[in-house]
Amino acid sequence: MQVLVTGGAGFIGSNFLNLSVPRYRDRRFVNVDHLGYAANLANVAETAKSPNYAFVRVDITDADAVDRLFHDHPPDLVVHFAAESHVDRSIVGPRAFVRTNIEGTFNLLEACRKYWPKGRGLFHHVSTDEVYGSLGESGAFTEATPYDPSSPYSASKAASDHLVRAYARTYGLATKITNCSNNYGPYQFPEKLIPLTILNAIDRKPLPVYGKGLNVRDWLYVEDHCEAIWAVIDHGGPGRTYNVGGNNEVRNIDVVRQICRLLAEETGQREDDLLALISYVTDRPGHDLRYAIDATRLKAECRWTPQETFETGLRRTVRWYLSNKAWVDEVRSGDYRKWIATNYADRTQP
Ligand code: NAD
Ligand code: TYD
């Protein structure tokens, strides 16, 4: 069996490969990535030594290249992670999101339609809970919640979900979709809240909190997300969608405070000195207030339960960033500095 993993040099894709390649030695994994700013082949350095692993550099917005990829490495399973993934970048420059997340997904679906005779193959689409928009103070997203995306990122992911379902209904393509809440863990590019806060705190730089820090996200450790994807591939119903979440709803300000406490415990610094770095800055436009996930369907049909609590997963994450300085130094050079300058320059303290 050949498994094509798109975006396998990014955060979640590389964790997925690191878990899967050693476990499924009878399957061949092909990591497909264009090596954009969030990608790093160092994320899969150990896995790359395995004989059942290969890397192919492809930009999924290039239809001909995707077609060649399917010709040269005919897959039985596609696990589609590749995306522009950061909400703030989608506000600054939405075009890349439309191209990769919508057109790129379309190109992959077209290749599946062309190369897979009826009854062959499975396209697993990795998506986000952000397609559902914002919740108020109560309630949780179910798979029946209407789509109501707020950012160019979530709108592009919503469009890609619709395309995947349309290919299932129209062409009979075998598809599954998972809509997951916020991930955290090793190898996450430090533009997202958790790694940005950890690294800024290590360097004693300001910890930017948007608005009043009262927005709520549901946090899931990345390995629990990867296990959920396998649970759905192995046990999920054809054409079905599954919400994935950790039952860990936390306000942003409390995420940042918890990181300060864990970092103080891990390094012996004074927690108060780290808390003093918290800096409230101008809010994100269209900022969704709250996400929460009802994962009943996934637990009932696919026998999945997360292994990490927020406390244990966050401690593992803090330790990982503390002990991987070479990785951190590499990803924070060049383009990263430009992004930080762009995103935070105009965020004055209210
Ligand atoms: P990431 O930005 O870390 O990685 C994305 C990867 O896709 C990168 O390696 C990048 O080079 C690659 N890529 C981007 N455009 C490409 C293109 N045109 N051609 C080929 N490769 C391309 O993102 P992530 O956090 O690992 O997210 C992976 C997937 O999971 C995305 O589809 C995202 O929407 C989804 N998701 C993420 C989260 C989260 O909290 N990070 C939560 C739910 C769902
Ligand atoms: P982020 O990690 O960008 O994920 P997403 O936007 O996909 O949920 O942001 C998580 C939350 O943290 C979100 O409510 C925005 C907030 N946030 C900050 O308060 N400060 C920051 O510097 C960043 C990047 C995010």
pLDDT in tens, 288-313: 999 999 999 999 999 999 999 999 99
Least confident of 6-15, 90-99, 337-346: 337-346
| Ligand 1 atom at minimal distance to the Cα of residue 180 | 43
Collect all residues with Cβ–Cβ distance below 8 Å to 190 and sequence separation of at least 6: 196, 198, 199, 328, 331, 332, 336
Q: In what order do the strands lie in the sheet with 77-80?
A: 53-57, 28-33, 2-6, 77-80, 122-128, 175-180, 241-244
Q: String of b and e for 205-220 (b: at least 16 CB within 10 Å)?
A: eebbbbbebebbbbbb
Question: Rounded to an integer, what distance in angstroms lies between the CA atom of residue 14 and that of residue 22?
Answer: 13
Percent of the chain as helix, strand, coil, to the nearest 5: 45, 15, 35
Which one from 53, 132, 153, 184 is the annotated catalytic residue? Answer: 153
pLDDT-based confidence at residue 349 (cuts at 50, 70, 90): low
Choosing among 3.30.420.10, 3.40.30.10, 3.20.20.140, 3.40.50.720, the CATH entry for 2-188+220-246+291-308 is 3.40.50.720
Question: What are the start-end ranges of the E strands in the chain?
Answer: 2-6, 28-33, 53-57, 77-80, 122-128, 175-180, 182-184, 207-210, 216-221, 241-244, 249-251, 278-281
**Closest ligand to 100 CA?**
1
pLDDT exceeds cutoff 80 at 244: yes
Diameter of the chain by CA atoms? Answer: 62
Q: Mean pLDDT, to the nearest integer, of 269-275?
A: 97
pLDDT exceeds cutoff 70 at 228: yes
**Closest ligand to 217 CA?**
2
| Ligand 1 atom at minimal distance to the Cα of residue 182 | 40
Which one from 33, 84, 130, 249 is the annotated catalytic residue? Answer: 130
Question: Rounded to an integer, what distance in angstroms lies between the CA atom of residue 260 and that of residue 82?
Answer: 32
Question: Rounded to an integer, what distance in angstroms lies between the CA atom of residue 141 and that of residue 132?
Answer: 7
Task: Report CA-CA distances (Å) from 200 to 26, 168, 250, 298, 321.
Answer: 42, 44, 20, 36, 11
233 C-alpha to ligand 1 centroid (Å): 19
Express each pLDDT in 130-160 by its tens digit. 999 999 999 999 999 999 999 999 999 999 9
First and final CA of the chain: distance in angstroms?
55
Pocket flag, ligand 1, residue 331 (CB < 6 Å): no
Annotation marks residue 321 as catalytic:
no
Pocket flag, ligand 1, residue 180 (CB < 6 Å): yes
Pocket flag, ligand 1, residue 11 (CB < 6 Å): yes
Comparison of pLDDT for 339 and 285, the residue scoring more: 285
State the burial class of residue 132 (Cβ atoms within 10 Å of its Cβ: 0-12, 13-18, 19+): buried
pLDDT exceeds cutoff 80 at 202: yes
pLDDT exceeds cutoff 90 at 118: no
Annotation marks residue 130 as catalytic:
yes
Best CA proximity match to 130, nearest among 230, 245, 228: 245
Best CA proximity match to 181, nearest among 229, 130, 256: 130
Average pLDDT, the chain: 96
51 C-alpha to ligand 2 centroid (Å): 38
Report residue 142 as tokens.
Answer: 């179910």
pLDDT (0 to 100) of residue 332: 87
| Ligand 1 atom at minimal distance to the Cα of residue 127 | 44
pLDDT (0 to 100) of residue 350: 60
- Kindly list the domain boundaries of the chain, sorted by start residue: 2-188+220-246+291-308
Mutation pick for ligand 2 pocket among 180, 192, 249, 339 (CB with most ligand atoms within 8 Å):
192
**Closest ligand to 157 CA?**
1
Report residue 64 as tokens.
Answer: 């001909």
158 C-alpha to ligand 1 centroid (Å): 14
Q: For the full predicted model, state whether its pTM sits above 0.85.
A: yes
193 C-alpha to ligand 2 centroid (Å): 5
103 C-alpha to ligand 1 centroid (Å): 14
